[in-house]
Amino acid sequence: MLNKIKAALAILEPTFLQIEDESHMHSIGAESHFKVVLVSEVFTDVRKVQRHQKVYGAIGDLMQQFHGLALHTYTPDEWLTVENAPNSPKCMGGSLHDKK
Protein backbone atom coordinates (compact mmCIF):
# COMPACT_ATOMS: atom_id res chain seq x y z
CA MET A 1 0.00 0.00 0.00
CA LEU A 2 2.87 2.40 0.77
CA ASN A 3 4.14 2.16 -2.80
CA LYS A 4 0.66 2.74 -4.21
CA ILE A 5 0.22 5.87 -2.08
CA LYS A 6 3.68 7.11 -3.05
CA ALA A 7 2.97 6.58 -6.76
CA ALA A 8 -0.38 8.36 -6.51
CA LEU A 9 1.13 11.37 -4.71
CA ALA A 10 3.86 11.80 -7.34
CA ILE A 11 1.40 13.96 -9.30
CA LEU A 12 1.86 16.64 -6.60
CA GLU A 13 5.61 16.77 -7.35
CA PRO A 14 6.80 16.49 -3.75
CA THR A 15 10.21 17.83 -2.79
CA PHE A 16 9.88 15.72 0.36
CA LEU A 17 7.54 12.79 0.94
CA GLN A 18 7.36 10.54 3.97
CA ILE A 19 4.71 7.86 4.33
CA GLU A 20 4.47 5.86 7.54
CA ASP A 21 2.28 2.86 8.25
CA GLU A 22 0.90 3.64 11.70
CA SER A 23 -1.44 0.66 11.82
CA HIS A 24 0.46 -0.76 14.79
CA MET A 25 -0.93 2.15 16.83
CA HIS A 26 -4.53 1.11 16.12
CA SER A 27 -6.70 -1.93 16.64
CA ILE A 28 -8.11 -2.38 13.14
CA GLY A 29 -5.28 -4.32 11.51
CA ALA A 30 -2.42 -4.13 9.04
CA GLU A 31 -2.20 -1.25 6.54
CA SER A 32 -5.20 0.53 8.02
CA HIS A 33 -3.68 3.86 9.15
CA PHE A 34 -1.07 6.01 7.42
CA LYS A 35 0.72 9.27 8.10
CA VAL A 36 1.80 11.36 5.11
CA VAL A 37 4.21 14.27 5.29
CA LEU A 38 4.25 16.00 1.92
CA VAL A 39 6.20 19.10 0.92
CA SER A 40 5.38 20.62 -2.45
CA GLU A 41 5.41 23.93 -4.33
CA VAL A 42 1.84 23.03 -5.34
CA PHE A 43 0.76 24.08 -1.84
CA THR A 44 2.05 27.65 -2.16
CA ASP A 45 -0.78 30.11 -1.45
CA VAL A 46 -3.18 27.20 -0.85
CA ARG A 47 -5.15 26.86 2.40
CA LYS A 48 -4.85 23.72 4.50
CA VAL A 49 -8.26 22.36 3.52
CA GLN A 50 -7.47 22.80 -0.17
CA ARG A 51 -4.10 21.08 0.32
CA HIS A 52 -5.84 18.09 1.84
CA GLN A 53 -8.35 18.06 -1.02
CA LYS A 54 -5.45 17.92 -3.48
CA VAL A 55 -3.99 14.94 -1.61
CA TYR A 56 -7.37 13.17 -1.49
CA GLY A 57 -7.83 13.84 -5.21
CA ALA A 58 -4.41 12.38 -5.98
CA ILE A 59 -5.00 9.27 -3.87
CA GLY A 60 -8.48 8.77 -5.30
CA ASP A 61 -9.94 5.28 -4.90
CA LEU A 62 -7.04 4.15 -2.72
CA MET A 63 -8.80 5.93 0.15
CA GLN A 64 -11.33 3.10 0.20
CA GLN A 65 -8.58 0.58 0.97
CA PHE A 66 -7.60 1.92 4.40
CA HIS A 67 -9.20 3.52 7.44
CA GLY A 68 -7.15 6.54 8.53
CA LEU A 69 -4.87 9.11 6.94
CA ALA A 70 -3.00 11.76 8.92
CA LEU A 71 -1.89 14.55 6.57
CA HIS A 72 0.86 17.07 7.16
CA THR A 73 1.24 19.31 4.11
CA TYR A 74 3.83 22.05 3.72
CA THR A 75 5.34 24.39 1.18
CA PRO A 76 9.14 24.18 0.89
CA ASP A 77 9.48 27.47 2.81
CA GLU A 78 7.21 26.22 5.61
CA TRP A 79 9.17 22.96 5.78
CA LEU A 80 12.42 24.88 6.28
CA THR A 81 11.02 26.38 9.47
CA VAL A 82 9.23 23.24 10.73
CA GLU A 83 11.63 20.50 9.54
CA ASN A 84 9.44 17.66 10.84
CA ALA A 85 5.80 16.82 11.35
CA PRO A 86 4.28 16.29 14.78
CA ASN A 87 4.01 12.79 16.17
CA SER A 88 0.63 11.14 15.82
CA PRO A 89 -1.30 10.67 19.05
CA LYS A 90 -1.72 7.19 20.44
CA CYS A 91 -5.01 5.53 19.58
CA MET A 92 -7.59 5.88 22.31
CA GLY A 93 -9.69 2.96 21.05
CA GLY A 94 -13.22 3.38 19.88
CA SER A 95 -12.95 0.95 16.99
CA LEU A 96 -15.85 -1.33 16.21
CA HIS A 97 -13.26 -4.09 16.42
CA ASP A 98 -12.49 -3.39 20.10
CA LYS A 99 -13.78 -6.00 22.51
CA LYS A 100 -16.27 -4.65 25.01
Domains of the chain and any CATH numbers: 2-82 (3.30.300.90)
87's enclosing H/E stretch is none
* Mean per-residue pLDDT over the chain, rounded: 83
- pLDDT band at residue 62 under the 50/70/90 scheme: confident
- What does the alpha-carbon distance between residue 70 and residue 14 come to, in Å, rounded to a whole number? 17
As a whole number, mean pLDDT of residues 81-99 equals 66
Question: What is the per-residue pLDDT for 37?
Answer: 95
Is pLDDT at 78 greater than 80 in this prediction?
A: yes
Helix/strand/coil for 3: helix
Question: What is the per-residue pLDDT for 86?
Answer: 75
- What does the alpha-carbon distance between residue 93 and residue 71 come to, in Å, rounded to a whole number? 20
> Residue 33 class from Cβ within 10 Å (0-12 exposed, 13-18 middle, 19+ buried)?
buried
As a whole number, mean pLDDT of residues 57-85 equals 88
